[in-house]
């Protein structure tokens, strides 16, 4: 966890994905990943955004600031999303019941 702040967007997304694949629930680790991701979210590509969103939803990790940042970044890069990336991201938002555009 001490090196998370130096991870690339792909490293962050892959770490989150690996934890979710193993069903490894570690809130401090996901908080660290979230903090690092929030600082670099504009550098994430479509696959990274989809993977981190999917990982959060798979583990039930609700971090509204992170999901709002993913949403904003995904909208800006929507043309880069492959159908599976888009499907996984939409599923993640539906699963976590994230309402980023409602008051």
**pLDDT in the model for residue 103:** 45
Q: How many CB atoms lie within 10 A of CB 20?
A: 21
Tokens of 25: 């629930």
**pLDDT in the model for residue 42:** 95
**pLDDT in the model for residue 38:** 97
In whole angstroms, what is the distance from residue 51 CA to residue 30 CA?
13
Contact 50, 91 (CB under 8 A): no
Q: Which residue is it, tokens 């962050």? A: 12
Tokens of 83: 């159908």
Tokens of 15: 């770490």
> Which pLDDT tens digits describe the chain residue by residue (103 residues)?
789 999 999 999 999 999 999 999 999 999 999 999 999 999 999 999 999 999 999 999 989 999 999 999 999 999 999 999 999 999 999 999 865 455 4
């Amino acid at each position: 966890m001490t090196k998370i702040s130096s991870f690339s967007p792909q490293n962050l997304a892959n770490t989150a994905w690996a934890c979710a694949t193993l069903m490894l629930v570690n809130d401090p680790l996901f908080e660290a990943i979230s903090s690092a991701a929030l600082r670099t979210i504009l550098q994430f590509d479509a696959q990274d955004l989809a993977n981190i969103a999917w990982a959060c939803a798979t583990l039930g990790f609700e971090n509204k600031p992170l999901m709002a940042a993913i949403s904003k970044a995904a909208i800006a890069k929507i043309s880069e999303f492959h159908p599976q990336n888009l499907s996984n991201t939409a599923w993640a938002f539906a699963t976590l019941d994230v309402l980023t555009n409602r008051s």
